[in-house]
Amino acid sequence: MAKRKEADRLAEKVVALMRDKKNNCAEAMIKVMAERFGFDPALGKIGTAFGGGISENADLCGFLTGGLIVIGLKFGRTEPGDQETKKKCYAIGSRYYAWFLKKFGRCTDLKGNPRVAPYDDCYAAAGEVLPFLLALIERNERK
């Protein structure tokens, strides 16, 4: 129950960044999760080109790409030859990718045209994405 409350709080922060600060979905996801895991929230700028289904091309949702960036920050390798870390990161990323596409599809499936408001479906999706991503990360931290 405490984990669900934390995930809900994180989702609210993501939505607030999108509404109030005009962050795109990827930027908001990365900023909030970076802060949660002790990374510099300025890393959110990595997500700028991923908003609107990858630079407003209505393809992969910024919640998907932003979540994958967070997974990379959390589980990615620092040594190019570290195959074990790479395999673990890929496995976690693949699990998130498959879940997300099955649940929401691409940006146009979730919200329609990424260039126009409203973004209500995106805001609602945050309430499902953050709990899943947080649980996935925490489950894999223990392994």
Q: What is the DSSP string of 91-132?
A: HHHHHHHHHHHHHT-SHHHHHS-TTSS--HHHHHHHHHHHHH
Indicate if the pLDDT at residue 16 is higher than 80.
Answer: yes
* pLDDT tens digits for range 24-79: 999 999 999 999 999 999 999 999 999 999 999 989 999 999 999 999 999 999 99
Burial readout 120-135 (b: 16 or more C-beta within 10 A, e: otherwise)? eebbebbebbbbbbbe
* pLDDT tens digits for range 81-140: 999 999 999 999 999 999 999 999 999 888 888 777 778 899 999 999 999 999 999 999
Q: What is the pLDDT of residue 101?
A: 97
Domain range list for the chain: 2-141
CB 127 within 8 A of CB 16: no
Q: What's the token pair of residue 74?
A: 């959390």
Q: How far apart are CA 26 and CA 51, in angstroms?
A: 6
